[in-house]
Amino acid sequence: MIELLRSGMRNNFSGEEEKAMIRKRKKLSIVAVDLFCGVGGLTYGLQKSGIKVVAGVDVDEKCKFAFEENNGASFIHKSIKEITSKEISKLYPAESLMVLVGCAPCQPFSKYTQKEKDRETKDDWGLLYHFIKLIKEVEPDVVSMENVPQIIKHTVFSDFVDGLKSKGYYINWQNVYCPDYGIPQNRRRLVLLASQLGEIKLIAPTHKPENYKTVKMATGNLEPIKAGTSSKKDRLHKSATLSKVNLKRIKKSVPGGSWRDWDVNLRADCHRKETGNTYGSVYARMEWDKPAPTITTQFFSFGTGRFGHPEQDRAISIREGAILQTFPKKYKFIPFTSPVELKRLGKYIGNAVPVRLGEIIGKSIIKHFEGYL
Upper half-sphere CA count for residue 342 (Cβ side, 13 Å): 19
**Region label for 76, one of left (φ > 0), alpha (ψ between -120 and 50) or beta (otherwise):** beta
Tell me which residue of 147, 145, 158 sits closest to 189, measured CA to CA.
147
What is 358-373 written as a DSSP string? HHHHHHHHHHHHHTT-
What is 246-284 written as a DSSP string? HHHHHHH--BT--GGGS-GGGS-HHHHSGGGGG-TTSS-
Give the count of beta carbons closer than 10 Å to the beta carbon of residue 238: 19
DSSP state of 310: S
Give the count of beta carbons closer than 10 Å to the beta carbon of residue 62: 15
> Could you give the strand order of the β-sheet that contains 96-102, starting from the edge strand earlier in sequence?
74-77, 52-58, 29-35, 96-102, 142-147, 188-195, 170-177
CA dihedral (248, 250, 256, 262) in degrees, to 10, reads 10
Alpha helix (H) residue ranges in the chain: 2-10, 15-27, 41-49, 64-71, 85-89, 127-138, 155-166, 215-219, 244-252, 269-272, 318-324, 342-351, 355-370
- Residue 106: active-site member: yes
CA 126 to CA 106: how far, in whole Å?
Answer: 11
Upper half-sphere CA count for residue 168 (Cβ side, 13 Å): 7
Q: Parallel, antiparallel, or unpaired for β 188-195 and 52-58?
A: unpaired
Q: Give rounded-to-5 percent helix, strand, coil for the chain.
A: 40, 15, 45
List the catalytic residue out of 37, 63, 103, 106.
Answer: 106
Catalytically active residues are: 106
